[in-house]
Structure 1
Amino acid sequence: METEAIFQSLPTLPLFFLMFFITYLIAYFIVFRNWSPKIRPEASSCFISLAHGTPAVFLATRAILADPNHGFAASNTEFQNSVLDYSIAYFLMDLVHYLVFIPSDVLFIGHHLATLFVFVTCRYVVSYGAFAILFLLILAEVTSACQNAWTLANARKGDVEFAAKLYDFLSPPFYTLYSIVRGCAGPYFVYEMLVFYMSGVADNVIPRWVWISWICVVLTAIAVSILWVSNLWIELYRQSTIKLEKKKIR
Structure 2
Amino acid sequence: MDILTIPNYLLLFFIMYFILYLNAYFILFRTWTRKLRPEASSCIISLAHGTPAVILASYAILSDPTRNFDSPNTSFQNLVLEYSIAYFLMDLLHYLVFYPRDMLFIGHHMCTLFVFMTCRYVVFHGAYAILMLLILAEITSLCQNVWTLASARRSDVKFAARVYDLLSPPFYALYSMMRGFVGPYFVYRMFVFYLSGVANNVIPKWVWISWISVVVTAISVSILWISNLWIELYSERMKKVESKKKNR
Fold agreement, TM-score > 0.5: yes
Partner AA of 2:10 in structure 1 = L
Percent identical among aligned pairs is 70
- Structure 1 Cα separation of the partners of residues 29 and 207 of structure 2: 41
Structure 2 spans left out of the alignment, 5+ residues: none
**1:66/1:59 Cα in 2 relative to 1: closer, same or farther (>3 Å)?**
same
**1:83/1:39 Cα in 2 relative to 1: closer, same or farther (>3 Å)?**
same
Q: CA RMSD in A?
A: 0.8
Measure how far apart 1:10 and its partner are: 7.0
User: What TM-score results when the alignment is normalised by the length of structure 2?
Assistant: 0.98
Partner AA of 2:120 in structure 1 = R
State the match for 2:148 in structure 1: 151
State the match for 2:161 in structure 1: 164
Partner AA of 1:151 in structure 2 = T
Q: Please say if 1:36 is aligned against 2:33.
A: yes
User: What TM-score results when the alignment is normalised by the length of structure 1?
Assistant: 0.97
* 1:74-93 equivalent positions in 2, closer than 5 A: 74-93=71-90
After the TM superposition, list the runs of 4 or more consecutive aligned residues in structure 1 that deviate by more than 4 angstroms: none
The 8 Å contact of residues 8 and 82 in structure 2, kept in 1 or not, is answered as no
State the match for 2:220 in structure 1: 223
Q: Please say if 1:128 is aligned against 2:128.
A: no
The 8 Å contact of residues 7 and 75 in structure 2, kept in 1 or not, is answered as no
* 1:177-196 equivalent positions in 2, closer than 5 A: 177-196=174-193
State the match for 1:116 in structure 2: 113
Measure how far apart 1:54 and its partner are: 0.2
Structure 1 spans left out of the alignment, 5+ residues: none
| Equivalenced residues, count | 246
Describe the SS at the equivalent of 1:132.
helix
Structure 2 residue corresponding to 1:199, chosen from 181, 196, 200: 196
CA deviation vs aligned residue, 1:180-221 (integer Å, no higher than 9, x gap):
000000000000000000000001000000000000000000
State the match for 1:63 in structure 2: 60
